[in-house]
């Protein structure tokens, strides 16, 4: 399949999502030109704020390939990924991102992620969502256990 055909599939999934009560987002993960997984936005369908098209599709691809590392795969998404999805794409090690609409287009229909991008740049004490360090001395022991573990699977 060509890049354009793969993007058209992501766009088709986004249109299907709108018809089925989801948000206007679709995604396809591809390896060597073959579709590995596809998905759409299910936030309102599943009452799951993490059920974005990209995250849902990453989950499906990882299950299908039985791995958490999608190196060698690319993602085609109908819109520029939000910060959560962008993070998931990096953690999944996808090789490349193709997108159709950009984040300004998304903001124009009420999906404005700019406030999250701005929050990420701030130190935690200046963010709008308060956060507080609690029981670090207890939690750090688990990190020490992880560091000492010789048979861990690193990611």
Residue 154 has pLDDT above 90, yes or no: no
Catalytic residue, chosen from 4, 5, 54, 119, is 54
The whole-model pTM stands at 0.92
In the residue annotation, 12 being an active-site residue is answered as no
CB-CB neighbours of 24 under 10 Å: 18
Residues of the chain above pLDDT 90, percent: 95
Architecture of the CATH domain 3-148: 3-Layer(aba) Sandwich (3.40)
Burial class (CB in 10 A: 0-12, 13-18, 19+), 82: buried
CA dihedral sign, ordered 112, 96, 155, 64: positive
Q: Per-residue pLDDT tens for 6-53?
A: 999 999 999 999 999 999 999 999 999 999 999 999 999 999 999 999
Residue 58 has pLDDT above 90, yes or no: yes
User: What's the confidence (pLDDT) of residue 32?
Assistant: 95
Q: Please report how the helices 53-65 and 83-92 are oriented relative to each other, as an axis angle in degrees rounded to 10.
A: 20
Reduced to 3 states (helix: H, G, I; strand: E, B; else coil), residue 26 is strand
């Amino acid at each position: 399949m060509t890049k354009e055909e793969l993007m058209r599939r992501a766009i088709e999934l986004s249109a299907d999502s709108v018809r089925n009560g989801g948000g206007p987002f679709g995604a396809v993960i591809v390896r060597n030109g073959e579709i590995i997984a596809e998905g759409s936005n299910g936030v309102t369908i599943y009452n799951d704020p993490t059920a974005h098209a990209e995250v849902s599709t990453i989950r499906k691809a990882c299950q299908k390939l039985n791995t958490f590392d999608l190196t060698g795969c690319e993602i085609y998404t109908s819109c520029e990924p939000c910060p959560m999805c962008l993070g998931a794409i990096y953690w999944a090690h996808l090789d490349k991102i193709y997108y159709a609409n950009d984040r300004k287009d998304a903001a124009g229909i009420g999906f404005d992620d700019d406030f999250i991008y701005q929050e990420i740049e701030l130190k935690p004490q200046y963010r709008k969502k308060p956060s507080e360090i609690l029981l670090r001395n207890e939690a750090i022991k688990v990190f020490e256990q992880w560091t000492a573990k010789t048979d861990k699977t690193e990611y």
